[in-house]
Structure 1
Amino acid sequence: MATATLLLPARSRLGAAALSEPVARALGRARFSMHAEGEHAQLKRHFQLAGDVWPVAALTRQMDVGDAGRDLWLRADPARVVPDMHGARLMGFGETLGLDETDAQALLPALQPVFAEHGLQFDAPTPTRWYLRVPEALPLPVFVAPEAVLGDDLFDHLPAGEPGRRWRALLSETQVVLHTHPWNAERAAQGRTAINTLWFWGGGVLPDAVRTSHAQIRSRDALLRALALAAGVQVDGEQTVDALVDLRQLRSMQQLGDEAIAPLLQAVRRAELDQLVLDFEDGAHFVIAAAQRWQFWKKPRQLHDT
């Protein structure tokens, strides 16, 4: 069955504008259900891995370098914090900071000795994804993904208790190095933001297997592309097979209705697609199929009607 599945943001992030009549009519006739909300829960509907905490660092390391093996990996991504009256807020990380190779080349030589003293290998195969190879005997605490911390007080999300003590100390050491590094003054002179902290997250070992029902993944997101690679499915290319299309970057109802859904509704009517699935981060789930066009009695539906 040829299916296009759209991975979409929470409905609340799309504004309150009305969808066009054809799209609203299709939604009114669609099969609707609610599922668990949140980014991780949304991805779990499409990828199956052992365990609830995913080893993001190992997955993206395998994509970036191909050497994840059976080692334990942790992301140590470049980030920016801004102090305020109550602490310090995480205001940017990774791709949001406009990093390039020169940033990694300037900062890594100063940071690597800090980690080497603790038996940790630190490198940056890409400008936005930095990694630690962690000794197997070193237990990792629970780390929080940076997306969940963005805009919040950094200290509310640091690893807790005795298992997190080493990592809190490491974070403080790296912040001192970054705060005093002349490269950050150079970035400021160029009108760019400072890289004044790292964010540890995504620890784990490459999973034995990643499974998905999709034959193709279309996304610019590093984690989705890494999951596709681990599952052995096609990434990007012409959409001719069952595809999961990542549109979580959409921010308006018009974009969703006119640019994303409407053309695919036409493909359903022409029998080029058997069904169109809309999967929202807040858990809303719509399945649109050609046979539903005969359900004349069902009223049009806007996204916020439920």
Structure 2
Amino acid sequence: MSDSAPLELWLPALARFAPDHPLRLRQARADRLADGARGYLAGLSHYFRSDDTGLAAAALLREHTAHDAGDAPWLCADPCWVQAEMNGARLLACGQLGLSMEEAEALAAPLRPLFGDAGMVLEITTPDRWQLRLAPGTSVPAFAAPEQALGEDLFQHLPQGAEGRRWRVLINEAQVLLHQHPVNAGRRARGLSPVNSLWLWGGGRLPSRVAATHSAVVGEDPLLAALAARAGVSVMPRSHASVLGAAAGTLVDLQDLPVAEIEQAWWPMIDALLRRQAVQLSFASGERWRHRPWHRWRLWRRAR
């Protein structure tokens, strides 16, 4: 962990901010830094480093909630909504479908034998976050994270080749079991999205050690919290008080928020931070700036 880590705001992609958004003006007056990580998982991998390969999201989430990840390999199997189209299918939502635990358990019931026959155990860690406990030595191909596949053709992001065939068959069989599930009939009747597939991603074993770039974290993301806990870093829920009170060495996660909400609900706290201390503005699209309180007097710099 770096003792010189600044107060850092992790923000949505820069292109999502309109030219007249108040943050644009502050960004224009700040000092440009070299670009950093792009995207959610790449950002997490930058802020939290481990000796192991990859970001084992499934094992980290399971350990943080159930404390039983052990040394087994894990794979996220998040409930998702896939929409069939004339030439394929498109991933429209993943892991944020507002399921109750009762719905989750009912949906998982016919899936457990399917995965059990394949040597896997389906665990419902939370209603929207499911994991597969895999047998030791299970070969797992690279799976795309949900953020990489949302809104895109499903086939483009499924594992290909002979190694991926087993997983494609499992996903197809899970879709068949979920298609006519009574829970989905009830959800459709209430105007809710169905859960008609599982998205597999984030495989690996629990890392033995995680190091953090910051000494404290403010945020609501479950994987961010799991990584921080593994690194021994304090995590504070995102609130007006926790953002306003953030000090040097703190990472404040705002990258999951709509830019309109940042302006309407969070800008007074952000503005106070920018007036009080040095702040690094890190956008999910990779651009980074360092803003210091006196930069607001750079009146000749205008937002583009």
Q: TM-score per shorter chain, which class?
A: 0.7 to 0.9
1:148-297 equivalence runs, <5 A = 148-236=148-236, 238=242, 239=245, 241=247, 242-248=249-255, 249-252=257-260, 254-255=263-264, 258-268=267-277, 275-290=278-293, 292-293=294-295
Q: Structure 2 CA distance, aligned partners of 1:141 and 1:297?
A: 51
Q: Structure 1 CA distance, aligned partners of 2:184 and 2:20?
A: 42
Which residue does the alignment assign to 1:272? none
Q: Structure 1 CA distance, aligned partners of 2:194 and 2:60?
A: 28
Distance apart, 1:185 and its partner CA:
0.9
Alpha-carbon spacing, 1:266–1:137, altered in 2? closer, same or farther (3 Å): same
Which residue does the alignment assign to 2:29? 28
SS of residue matched to 2:90? strand
* Contact 1:29–1:300 (8 Å) recurs in 2: no
Alpha-carbon spacing, 1:29–1:123, altered in 2? closer, same or farther (3 Å): closer
State the AA in 1 paired with 2:113: P
Q: Structure 2 CA distance, aligned partners of 1:18 and 1:129?
A: 34
1:104-158 CA-to-partner distances (Å, cap 9, x unmatched) read 1211211101111111111202101001000112200110111111111111111
Distance apart, 1:51 and its partner CA:
5.2
Alpha-carbon spacing, 1:161–1:260, altered in 2? closer, same or farther (3 Å): farther
* Contact 2:75–2:204 (8 Å) recurs in 1: yes
Alpha-carbon spacing, 1:240–1:145, altered in 2? closer, same or farther (3 Å): closer
Larger Rg belongs to: 1
* Contact 2:52–2:207 (8 Å) recurs in 1: no
Which residue does the alignment assign to 1:127? 127
Alpha-carbon spacing, 1:128–1:86, altered in 2? closer, same or farther (3 Å): same
* Contact 2:77–2:200 (8 Å) recurs in 1: yes
Q: Structure 1 CA distance, aligned partners of 2:69 and 2:82?
A: 29
Which residue does the alignment assign to 1:141? 141
Alpha-carbon spacing, 1:297–1:246, altered in 2? closer, same or farther (3 Å): closer
Alpha-carbon spacing, 1:142–1:180, altered in 2? closer, same or farther (3 Å): same
Which residue does the alignment assign to 1:90? 91
Distance apart, 1:52 and its partner CA:
5.5
Q: Structure 1 CA distance, aligned partners of 2:267 and 2:116?
A: 53
SS of residue matched to 2:47? coil
Q: Structure 1 CA distance, aligned partners of 2:115 and 2:61?
A: 21
SS of residue matched to 2:276? helix
1:78-125 CA-to-partner distances (Å, cap 9, x unmatched) read 011111111111111111x11111211211211101111111111202
CA RMSD of the aligned region, Å?
A: 2.4
Q: Structure 1 CA distance, aligned partners of 2:122 and 2:167?
A: 14
Alpha-carbon spacing, 1:183–1:136, altered in 2? closer, same or farther (3 Å): same
Which residue does the alignment assign to 2:50? 49
Q: Structure 1 CA distance, aligned partners of 2:42 and 2:265?
A: 21
State the AA in 2 paired with 1:243: T
1:113-124 equivalence runs, <5 A = 113-124=113-124
State the AA in 2 paired with 1:6: L
What TM-score results when the alignment is normalised by the length of structure 1? 0.87
Q: Structure 2 CA distance, aligned partners of 1:25 and 1:69?
A: 46
Q: Structure 2 CA distance, aligned partners of 1:86 and 1:129?
A: 29
State the AA in 2 paired with 1:112: R
* Contact 2:30–2:290 (8 Å) recurs in 1: no
State the AA in 2 paired with 1:171: I
171-180 or 247-256, which moves further after superposition?
Answer: 247-256
Alpha-carbon spacing, 1:176–1:161, altered in 2? closer, same or farther (3 Å): same
1:142-181 CA-to-partner distances (Å, cap 9, x unmatched) read 1011111111111111111111111101001111110122
252-261 or 208-217, which moves further after superposition?
Answer: 252-261
Between the aligned residues of both structures, percent identity stands at 39
Q: Structure 2 CA distance, aligned partners of 1:43 and 1:301?
A: 31
Give unpaired runs (5+ residues) of structure 2. none
How many pairs align?
292
Alpha-carbon spacing, 1:119–1:301, altered in 2? closer, same or farther (3 Å): same
* Contact 1:276–1:288 (8 Å) recurs in 2: yes
Q: Structure 2 CA distance, aligned partners of 1:29 and 1:137?
A: 50
